[in-house]
Amino acid sequence: MNLKGKKAVVTGGSRGIGKGIVLELASKGCDVVFTYNSNEEAAKAVENDLSELGVEGFGIKADASSFETTQETMKNILEKFGRVDILVNNAGITKDNPLFMMSENDFDSVIDANLKSVFNYTKAVLRPMIKQRYGRIINISSVVAITGNPGQANYVASKAGVIGMTKSNAKELASRNITVNAVCPGFIETDMTGKLNDQQKDAMLKTIPLARFGKSEDIAKVVSFLVSDSADYITGQVIAVDGGMVM
Instruction: Tell me which residues are annotated as active site.
Output: 155
Q: Could you say whether residue 169 binds ligand NAP (CB under 6 A)?
A: no
Count of residues engaged in binding ligand NAP, rule: CB under 6 A: 31
Scan residues 190-229 and list those touching ligand NAP (CB under 6 A): 190-193
Q: Which DSSP letter does residue 14 get?
A: S
Scanning the chain, the segments in alpha helix (DSSP H) are 16-27, 40-53, 67-81, 104-111, 117-132, 144-147, 153-173, 191-194, 198-205, 216-226
- Judged on CB neighbours under 10 Å (0-12, 13-18, 19+), 99 is exposed
Q: Could you say whether residue 120 binds ligand NAP (CB under 6 A)?
A: no
Q: Could you say whether residue 12 binds ligand NAP (CB under 6 A)?
A: yes
* Helix, strand, or coil (residue 77): helix
Find out whether 89 and 142 touch, Cβ atoms under 8 Å.
Answer: no
Q: Could you say whether residue 93 binds ligand NAP (CB under 6 A)?
A: yes
The minimum distance between CB 64 and ligand NAP, in angstroms, equals 4
Q: Could you say whether residue 121 binds ligand NAP (CB under 6 A)?
A: no
Find out whether 29 and 2 touch, Cβ atoms under 8 Å.
Answer: yes
Stretch that binds ligand NAP, among 1-9, 51-59, 89-97, 164-172 (CB under 6 A): 89-97
The minimum distance between CB 108 and ligand NAP, in angstroms, equals 13
The CA-atom distances, in angstroms, between 42 and each of 16, 18, 46, 111 are 10, 12, 7, 24
Stretch that binds ligand NAP, among 34-42, 97-105, 119-127, 169-177 (CB under 6 A): 34-42
Q: Which of 57, 92, 161, 243 binds ligand NAP (CB under 6 A)?
A: 92
Find out whether 140 and 188 touch, Cβ atoms under 8 Å.
Answer: no
Query: Residues interacting with ligand NAP, by CB under 6 A?
Result: 11-12, 14-18, 35-39, 42, 63-65, 90-93, 113-114, 140, 142, 185, 187-188, 190-193
